Structure 1
């Protein structure tokens, strides 16, 4: 079904559970919150997806995306151990985890467009205007979203400083 191998299904079904908690946390908190139940689900699912990409990838770029995703996850979830609960740590955490969500959605959207509907996919060429438009829209969402997150964190910091 959809031309996905059994190992590909493990990769797909392992990483897809990261999407709902990511959307939930972004909508509710404006960022991915690592120290929460949805944050734990996100981390485990992302790690499964990023690690298994090395077993199913057919293009060199996939290895790069998998490697960068793992590094971003480790940085985002681990930065507080090195810097404590500082503003700098919160910025790094937010940026790393937002980039990881982007790296989840980019191949997800690409693969959906290249495989659905089964047998007659919407996109057959990697240079398709529909695919490039969808990828461009994701990039625009990343830029706008990261900008909004950074502004929000900066305002939070100023508000906290004014209260002190």
Structure 2
């Protein structure tokens, strides 16, 4: 959360997830509320990993997992609402069990997993580059 855009994303996500807990269009506490709670937990977890390094070396991986998972938690209700409401008068789906919706959710889950794996490899590459820089400094100096 060091960059301005990352900080803005976290603040807006806190606002959106927090306000989602007060919306009860479907009559009670539902899956959207669960996702909002998971989002808030993920942000808190990411913040703790960032500030305390509670799990040492693995903290940065857990931080990336936590912050990235908020995007997945946003996309599930977003794509569900989109498919349930549009096009107006003849929406793409009429139930939560519709195969189209399930496939969209699975696709976003797959994208999420690929993104996390990519991030892990990126972290490893950055660590190796730092080691090379240290060796160059040792032998050059």
Q: TM-score, normalised by structure 2?
A: 0.82
| Equivalent residue number for residue 104 of structure 1 | 74
2:122 counterpart of 1:152: yes
Please give the residue correspondences for 1:77-156 in structure 2 after superposition, counting only pairs within 5 Å: 77-83=47-53, 87-156=57-126
2:6 counterpart of 1:39: yes
- 2: CA distance, partners of 1:152 / 1:40: 21
Using CA pairs under 8 Å that are at least 6 residues apart, name the structure with larger relative contact order, 1 or 2: 1
Q: Unaligned 5+ residue runs, structure 1?
A: 1-33
- 1: CA distance, partners of 2:18 / 2:89: 28
- 2: CA distance, partners of 1:150 / 1:140: 15
Rg larger in structure: 2
| Equivalent residue number for residue 70 of structure 1 | 40
- 2: CA distance, partners of 1:77 / 1:36: 14
Deviations 1:131-156 (A, max 9, x none): 11111110110111111111111121
Superposition CA RMSD, Å: 1.8
- Alpha-carbon offset, residue 104 of structure 1: 0.9
Deviations 1:64-99 (A, max 9, x none): 211110011122134222129x64332121111111
Q: Secondary structure at the match of 2:44?
A: helix
- 2: CA distance, partners of 1:35 / 1:118: 41
Q: Report the count of equivalent residues.
A: 130
Q: Unaligned 5+ residue runs, structure 2?
A: 135-141
Q: TM-score, normalised by structure 1?
A: 0.71
Q: Secondary structure at the match of 1:55?
A: coil
Q: Secondary structure at the match of 1:46?
A: helix
